[in-house]
Amino acid sequence: MKAITIRELAGAVGAVRTGFDEHSAAGGLGIATSPSAPRDDRQGESGRGEGDDILGKDKESLRDSFSMLGPPEADDKGVDGCSMLGPPEADGKKGDSAEGEKEKGNREPNCGAGGDAVAGSACGGDLFSGPRIKSGVTAGGRDDIGGRGDGVGGGGDKDSGLKEDGHSGSSGLRLPRRCAPRNDNGGWGAVGADSVRDKESLRDADSCWIPDQVRDDNLRDREIIGVSTDTRTLGAGECFFAIRGENFDGHAYVSAAVEKGAACVVVEDGACVSGCGVPCVVVEDTVRALGDLARWYREQLGAKVVAITGSAGKTTVRHILGHVLSQHFRCHQAKKSFNNHIGLPLTLLGADEDDEIIVCELGTNSPGEIEYLSRVAGPDAAVVNNVGEAHLEGFGTVENIAQEKTSIRAGLRDGGKLLINVDCAVLVSYCDEAGLSYVGFGTGASADVRASEVKTTGLAGELVVDDMVISVPLAGEANLYNALAAYAVARQFGVTADEFAKAMPGLESPEMRLDLQYAGRVTIINDCYNANPASMRNAVETLGHLVRGHDGRAVFICGHMAELGADADRLHAELGGTIGAAELDLLVGVGAHADVTVEAAARASENGLKTRIFPDVEVLCNNLQQIVRPDDIILVKGSRAAGLERAIDELVGLFG
């Protein structure tokens, strides 16, 4: 990460207040800060579809109780600074509050740590008294993801819940507004996306975030050299963002971050944090603040950004593209599947100032997320790899998924391009009906980047594009289409088909995605990171290719596909039909919907498919030695929530 100052950070995230106190980090409402609070090591990694989104599946958990903390004017002594949505008027009247927040701003004003409830500084006296906000300006209210007052496609999309005025449409994941840095005229206002990009306004925002008690310019200009949400990976000189998740609270680890050398911490207003001892930036929502910082930081870099989404294959496309582009440019890419509200910002913030291209992926399991992430990333190239029956629980129909995926165009920069898979009929139909301009890749005659031939041997494959044979050393036919998507993007950066082909021999499989492993005489296909109907079909086909001419058995250890909603039984039955027709030797169903899948497979099989069912992974692992034989080829696949990586470890231990 390019070093930035605390001054710049506080301006970028729209700090409610910032300061330094050896006793406490933030005033507000007491929250549990026990060192024994559960931890989470995902660091933004998300399979998107496993129910492990750090923001939680309950949309109300997205900070519905946060207020703007607009403090009173200097002559207004008696207003509680911890309860109003909007700043009070000069005459002492309550300021305007935005739609949807009328009942959600009031909170108990005392966390019981020796503060002054009237002054609104419950944990640390009046050190964090906050900025003075000019009267008559609404600072409160919520907007849907990506709303921010900067418009969504010229007025918003009512179906996605995104409105130009920042208020709710019919649906959408909602995140809070925040205060803006003070403008040149001394006024205050709600910040929009464009305001965040005004570097000068950030550097002139001293009085916005530094209280009178903190006058040390060295503090303001202290540099941070990285950002972390996990104290176990945090390095000295980095900024620690205290993130609240479903099962943990990062505020419980502020002291641990300080002990590891954090240069500053970012905490939520209302968090009672003791023993900080380093500069502390107080924001309404640390998740949103992390995104704001990433968006601002992206603007400071000269790098081009590629953003990739799709129902399947986005990590592999990102992996292939990053590998190829790194042969020609300084290229930074996401770690693993960092594709959510935590992972994407961490990816952007991990780029160095001399990086030329940043390759990131965007995931979703509910409406509005892709648009928000796109606006954070500000891509020069936005890719929709495919649209399929994934996350139906959150979207209802494939058409709704197409709408969500194509909202990746929302953050495109001037001159940016949308690239889509034109072999995907529902995707093309949506884009054409919406009048979108795009670059198409695929195998059909209408493709701008066309593969005239695609063939796989199971372990690897070839595609012919621009009269060049490109050998792809990845298992499964789907990975050939992933390679085609990567080539379509690489070509936008001047990479020729010949150069792309020459980069392929050094390509390795992404972890846990049709990743071949060997344990003695047993071959394991590790594809247990995620699962949806399309990726399941591809994995079964790959197993069928590999077992041809092989003396051992074809074994499928099959977990469930998550987040399919009301279609779950139907789609698991269809998967069973695919398995039954594939002429495998043994199907082992594990966990949810295993009975549906196994029964459908048994009905469809014409070669005496043997089956077993286990209630969970633990019972499976206890029986693996009796199930598996030497020379077996074993496909292990299911949604991440199934936890089938434990079966991989057990197989390696037994036969490796």
**Binding site members:** 310-316
CA 250 – CA 242 distance, rounded (Å): 4
589: three-class secondary structure by DSSP: strand
Kindly report the backbone phi and psi dihedral angles of residue 528, in degrees, each rounded to the nearest multiple of 5, phi listed first: -105, 20
Q: Which residue has the tokens 């469809």?
A: 604
Q: How far apart are alpha carbons 12 and 289 in whole angstroms?
A: 8
**DSSP-derived pairing of the beta strands 522-527 and 515-519:** antiparallel
Q: Are strands 174-176 and 142-144 parallel, antiparallel or unpaired?
A: antiparallel
Pairing of the two strands 273-274 and 24-26: antiparallel
Q: Which residue has the tokens 């030695």?
A: 625
Other beta carbons within 10 angstroms of residue 76's beta carbon come to: 17
What whole-number distance in Å separates Cα of residue 629 and Cα of residue 655?
A: 9
Q: Is residue 614 within 8 Å of 587, Cβ to Cβ? A: no
Give per-residue burial for 90-125: e unless 16+ CB within 10 Å, then b.
eeeeebebbeebeebbebebbbebebebebbbbbbb
Binding residues for ATP: 310-316
Residues 6 or more apart whose CB falls under 8 angstroms from that of 559 comprise 528, 531, 590, 591, 637, 638, 639, 642, 643, 644
Element (H, E) at 575: helix 568-581
The residues that bridge with 439 in the sheet, in sequence order, are: 419
Q: Which residues of 466-476 are buried (b: 16+ CB within 10 A; e: fewer)?
A: beeebebebbb
Strands 522-527 and 633-637: parallel
The DSSP-derived string for 242-311 is --B-SS-BGGGGHHHHHHTT-SEEEEETT--EE---S-EEEES-HHHHHHHHHHHHHHHS--EEEEEE-S
Question: What is the rounded CA–CA span in Å between residue 389 and residue 399?
Answer: 10
State which amino acid sits at residue 379.
P
Residue whose C-alpha is closest to residue 564's, from 555, 556, 574: 574
DSSP assigned state of 5: E
Gap between the Cα atoms of 240 and 224, Å rounded: 10
φ, ψ (nearest 5 deg) of residue 443: -110, -10
d(C-alpha 50, C-alpha 499), whole Å:
37
Q: How distant is the alpha carbon of residue 566 from its chain centre? A: 25
Give the closest residue to 652 by CA, choosing from 625, 612, 620: 625
Residue 570 CB contacts under 8 Å (≥ 6 apart), including other chains? none
> CA 420 to CA 403: how far, in whole Å?
13
Residues 6+ apart with CB under 8 A from 259: none
